[in-house]
C-alpha cells in the first residue's frame, strides 16, 4: 500500500530544537508498537528558533507521521493526547491524512548514513542509495553561509561548507547533512518520499518533502 502523512495539530509553546529522540519517546508512550519500527517516519516539527536551543511553536506546527496507508488506524489513538516532549507539554488535535505529492525537487533537513560523516564520502553514499532505488535524479548537499554557527555543536568539531546537523540520542550525537534531490520524475519523487535515505527515520531523519524554500 502507498504511504501517506497523518498530521495532528500541535498545541503548545515550545519544543527543544533537537527534539527527534524526545518526540519519539513521547509518541511511543501512547503507541509502543512504533518505538523500534524504522518503516515509520516522524517528521521534524516546524517552529521558529528562539535562541535557547528551543523552537517556538506556531499555529502551523504539527506532529506528522509518515506511515503505510493500511496502518493509519494504529496512530489514531494520538488524537487528543497530551504529550511531554523533553519536559515541554503539548496537546494533539484531530488527525488529517495527506497523500504524498510528487515534486521535482525534494529536501530533507537531516539525513544520517551510518559510517559517513564527511561531506564527499557522505554524498557518494547517498548517491549509491539513490542508485539502488533506481532513482536517477541528482543529490546534493546544502551550502551554508554561517559555517561556524551551524557547526558549533558538531560531534567532530569539523567546519563544513555544507549544512551539517546533529541528532542527540541519549548520550550520543549522530551526525548528518541536509540533502537536496533535484530532477525527479513523479514516480521517483513518490518513491523517495516513501523510502527516504539513510536511517533513523523514526527520529525524523531521511524524510523528504517538496522543497518550497
For residues 153 and 195, state if they share a domain.
Answer: yes
For residues 84 and 139, state if they share a domain.
Answer: no
Cα 193 to chain centroid distance, Å, stands at: 11
pLDDT band at 119 (very low <50, low <70, confident <90, very high): very high
**What are the residues facing 185 on neighbouring strands?**
none
Tell how strand 3-12 and strand 62-68 pair up: antiparallel
Number of domains in the chain: 2
For residues 31 and 91, state if they share a domain.
Answer: yes
Structure confidence at residue 157 (pLDDT): 44
For residues 20 and 59, state if they share a domain.
Answer: yes
Structure confidence at residue 59 (pLDDT): 93
For residues 88 and 161, state if they share a domain.
Answer: no
* Residue 113: other Cβ atoms inside 10 A: 24
- Residue 71: which CATH number? 3.30.70.1890
pLDDT band at 170 (very low <50, low <70, confident <90, very high): confident
Mean pLDDT computed over 95-124: 94
Convert the pLDDT of each residue in 53-69 to its tens digit.
899 999 999 999 999 99
- Residue 173: which CATH number? 3.30.70
Of 99, 132, 147, the position where a domain reaches its end is 99
Query: CA–CA separation, 188 vs 103, rounded Å?
Result: 9
Query: CA–CA separation, 165 vs 178, rounded Å?
Result: 7
pLDDT band at 38 (very low <50, low <70, confident <90, very high): confident
Written as nine digits, the cell of 97 is: 491524512
For residues 120 and 45, state if they share a domain.
Answer: no
Structural domain of residue 153, as residue ranges? Answer: 105-210
In this prediction the pTM is 0.88
Amino acid at each position: 500500500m502507498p504511504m501517506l502523512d497523518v498530521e495532528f495539530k500541535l498545541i503548545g509553546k515550545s519544543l527543544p530544537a533537537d527534539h527527534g529522540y524526545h518526540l519519539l519517546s513521547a509518541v511511543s508512550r501512547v503507541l509502543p508498537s512504533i518505538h523500534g519500527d524504522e518503516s515509520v517516519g516522524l517528521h521534524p516539527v516546524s517552529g521558529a528558533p528562539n535562541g535557547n536551543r528551543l523552537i517556538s511553536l506556531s499555529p502551523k506546527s504539527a506532529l506528522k507521521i509518515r506511515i503505510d496507508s493500511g496502518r493509519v488506524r494504529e496512530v489514531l489513538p494520538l488524537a487528543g493526547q497530551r504529550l511531554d516532549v523533553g519536559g515541554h507539554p503539548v496537546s494533539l488535535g484531530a488527525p488529517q491524512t495527506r497523500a504524498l505529492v510528487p515534486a521535482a525537487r525534494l529536501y530533507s533537513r537531516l539525513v544520517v548514513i551510518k559510517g559517513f560523516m564527511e561531506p564527499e564520502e557522505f554524498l557518494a553514499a547517498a548517491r549509491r542509495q539513490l542508485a539502488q532505488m533506481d532513482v536517477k535524479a541528482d543529490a546534493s548537499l546544502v551550502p551554508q553561509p554561517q559555517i561556524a554557527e551551524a557547526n558549533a555543536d558538531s560531534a567532530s568539531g569539523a567546519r563544513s561548507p555544507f549544512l551539517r546537523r546533529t541528532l542527540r540520542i541519549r548520550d550520543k550525537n549522530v551526525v548528518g547533512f541536509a540533502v537536496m534531490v533535484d530532477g525527479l520524475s513523479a514516480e521517483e519523487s513518490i518513491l523517495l518520499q516513501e523510502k527516504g535515505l539513510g536511517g533513523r527515520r523514526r527520529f525524523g531523519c531521511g524524510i523528504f518533502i517538496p522543497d518550497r524554500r
